[in-house]
Amino acid sequence: MPFIFIPCPIDGLFEIQPKVYGDSRGYFFECYSERDFAGAGLDVHFVQDNQSLSQKGTLRGLHFQKTKPQGKLVRAIQGEVFDVAVDIRPDSPTLGKWHAVVLSSVKQNQLYIPPGFAHGFLALSDEAVFAYKCSDFYYPEDEGGIVWNDPSIGISWPDIGMEYSLSEKDKLLPLWKEGIL
């Protein structure tokens, strides 16, 4: 199989490591196979691909869609990011818990985040190109979010020796306790 699926401490999250074939000319790997993912229990259909470029210290998130949640397969195409998923599934035993993975273009690892999670990331490298597949379309009117430093969630964001850069919209996201759902 061209992938290793590693279950994370929160049910439904998987770190995925593809088999990379490399030689003096470069490398090749499959970054997604519907057949292999379904064989690992990740029976998901993706409908949209997104990509962003971020400078070091850029923090994006924590974002989610309220009534049309998206599953996501995320990876760093270039550079490195600290990627975070927060469980916001109302009936989950890990509601409000978070898990982070450093995604790197050197390791080519990915994170599968099922529907029902808030998501965000911090660019650790000088530049990070971040790509993600989504299981539903983006609906601006359905967008929700949680402020990145909400103390009730307590994400341990890494110290990168500089202040984080956030959009004005992300700076104004509400706390978890403000009834975001």
Instruction: Supply the residues annotated as catalytic.
Output: 63, 132
Distance CA 140, CA 117 (A): 17
Cα pseudo-dihedral 136, 4, 97, 70, rounded to 10: 0
Distance CA 164, CA 158 (A): 10
Closest CA to 46 of 142, 143, 114, 136: 136
- Output the CA–CA distances (angstroms, integers) from residue 168 to 59, 68, 171, 172, 173, in the order listed: 11, 24, 5, 7, 9
SS3 84: strand
Is residue 78 within 8 Å of residue 49, measured between CB atoms? no
Q: How far is CA 69 from the centre of its chain?
A: 13
